[in-house]
Structure 1
Amino acid sequence: MENKPVIIGVAGGSGSGKTTVAHKICKEFPEQSILMIEHDAYYKDQDHLPMEERLKTNYDHPLAFDTDLLIEHLDQLQNRQAIEKPVYDYPNHTRAEETIPQQPRDVIILEGILILEDERLRDMMDIKVFVDTDSDLRIIRRLLRDIQERGRTIDSVIDQYTTVVRPMHLQFIEPTKRYADVIIPEGGHNHVAIDLLVSKIRTITNEIGSY
């Protein structure tokens, strides 16, 4: 049987820079040997719910995710089987009909705000990373992103942050920091931490390749 791929979990609050960290790690490896899986792709299918119910979804809560499906897909990838990664349709607040075929790779980067919250996911990871960025920087980044990329108003972003994002971060995301093997302050700007991570991943993949 072929060797199992290395799974690296990259967690952190919204606007922490975790996606930047994950992309920078990916850039250090050839495309054919690394795969990125976003937890956001695994929001639950809400096709059976009326739109007014879908609009009430709290996307910062663990129950918003179909983590069972994610675990099933990671199992398949570990067994060198291809998967059909779901696509989330944000405007309609449900899963899209199309999927994205993904082939197994030597390294899998699993990225998302709550990936360290589920013990089953943690147990699958070889390295667990938490990107730790001050809350003032995170809210500024979220403001800029949501206004520029998603057409939101300042008031709506701040309201969502104070009523949902911040309390969920304190309740569910911040406590998962204790499970991390590596904590990276300042996200994608911490080049030393990213270089160290890349070196460690290379060491693991080389060891697997020598078996």
Structure 2
Amino acid sequence: MQLGEDQLSAMPGFSGTDKHSTMKSSPRVSGFEDIPRPFVIGVGGGTASGKSTVCSKIMEQLGQNGINEKQQQVVIISLESFYKPLTPEQIVLARKGQYNFDHPAAFDEQMMLDTLLDLKANKTVQIPEYDFKNHCIKSETLRTVNPTDVILFEGILVFYFKDIRELFNMKLFVDTDADTRLSRRVLRDMKEFGRDLDQILRQYTTYVKPAFEEFCLPTKKYADVIIPRGADNTVAIDLIVQHIQELLRGSVKSNAPQRSRHNSDSLVSRPH
């Protein structure tokens, strides 16, 4: 289901009221017994499409900003946390922009799966942080993620891995045009990582664009909801937030967790 401004009003589960309300700050949401806990949402899309911004806006509208991590009902986890450690030879290539960070083989699929399974079992997990300037995992800065109600798992290939994909209760694809994504990536990589334009464009044409077309774009078919224009589509984000709120309150009886996740069903029926 593609959420454009002309296709939103017919979306089931939305009453059209209380669009901008926030979740209560209690440890658990009333009525949450009716759906899986945690409710895991995958957020896919191309590099610099606005996945992180969409997740941040969802967090903001759910009233989660500024809340202590131990009390948060919603957490964001990035696919980038699951890069495989690079060998010394690979680090040399990465510094030259000659390592493919967009290929599925760059990610630790088993670590991703174990982490999500632990979270779905309401266990506390430790998640590493990847250092893109030095191309290594920051072993000294592990992030602790406690049991929570909603998990937003975002990244370019979150729908590529079958076992990971089947853990999602809702799948969103952030759909932004290629020119916008490229311009955002250029500005970000120059500002945050100090890379020169030639290196950025060479890496984009050699690795990023081909990987998007081969591995990321085909996973769009698995999305329950497609968000055109990404975070600029405030109407879509508002309605997604409202749907999450109603699910958590138990006011929407969703059968999604019981359905096979092999085929997509709509809600009607940093480097990335």
* Fold-level similarity (TM above 0.5): yes
Residue identity opposite 2:124 in structure 1: A
Give the equivalent residue in structure 2 for 1:53. Answer: 90
**Is it true that 1:167 corresponds to 2:217 in the alignment?**
no
1:153 to 196, 207, 211: 196
1:160-209 residue CA offsets vs partner (Å, 9 max, x unmatched) = 1111110000000110000000000111100011011101111221129x
**Residues 57 and 64, structure 1, Cα contact 8 Å, conserved in 2:** no
TM-score by length of 1: 0.92
How far is 1:7 from its partner? 0.5
How far apart are 1:60 and its partner, in Å? Answer: 0.2
- Cα distance, 1:92 vs structure 2: 3.1
Structure 2, unpaired ranges of 5+: 1-32, 254-272
Give the superposed CA RMSD: 1.7
Please give the residue correspondences for 1:68-87 in structure 2 after superposition, counting only pairs within 5 Å.
Answer: 68-87=110-129
Contact 2:133 2:193 in 1 (8 A): no
- Contact 1:12/1:130 (8 A) holds in 2: yes
Match of 2:81 in 1: 41
State the match for 2:134 in structure 1.
Answer: 92
Q: Quote the Cα distance in structure 1 between the aligned partners of 2:51 and 2:90.
A: 30
Q: Could you say what secondary structure the match of 1:129 adopts?
A: strand
Post-superposition CA distance 1:116-140 (Å, at most 9, x none): 1011111111110101111111111
Partner letter of residue 193 of structure 1? A
**Whole-angstrom distance in 2 between the partners of 1:104 and 1:57:** 35
What's the secondary structure of 1:124's corresponding residue? Answer: coil
Aligned partner of 2:240 in structure 1 is: 197
Structure having the higher Rg: 2
- The number of residues matched between the two structures is 205
Match of 1:108 in 2: 151
| Separation in structure 2 between the aligned mates of residue 151 and residue 95 of structure 1, nearest angstrom | 19
Partner AA of 2:165 in structure 1 = R
Q: 2: distance between equivalents of 1:200 and 1:77?
A: 22
Instruction: Report the TM-score, using the length of structure 2 for normalisation.
Output: 0.72
Deviation at 1:111, TM superposition (A): 0.5
Show CA shifts across 1:104-155 (max 9, x none): 1100000000001011111111110101111111111111111122111111
Tell me if structure 1 keeps the 8 A contact 2:46–2:156: yes
Q: In the alignment, which residue of structure 2 is the partner of 1:134? A: 177
Give the match's secondary structure for 2:139: strand
Secondary structure of 1:192's aligned partner: helix
Q: Which runs of 5+ in 1 are unaligned?
A: none
Give the AA of the match of 1:143. Answer: V
Which region of structure 1 is more displaced relative to structure 2, 147-156 or 133-142?
147-156
| Mapping for residues 3-22 of structure 1, pairs under 5 Å | 4-22=37-55
What is the aligned-residue identity percentage? Answer: 43
Q: Counterpart amino acid of 1:53?
A: Q
Structure number having the greater strand percentage = 1
2:26 equivalent in structure 1? none
Between 174-183 and 144-153, the greater mean CA deviation after superposition: 144-153
Give the aligned partner of residue 18 of structure 2.
none
Deviations 1:25-76 (A, max 9, x none): 1112234110110000110123xx22x3233531100110112111111111
Instruction: Report which stretch shifted further, 177-186 or 27-36.
Output: 27-36
Q: Secondary structure at the match of 1:84?
A: strand
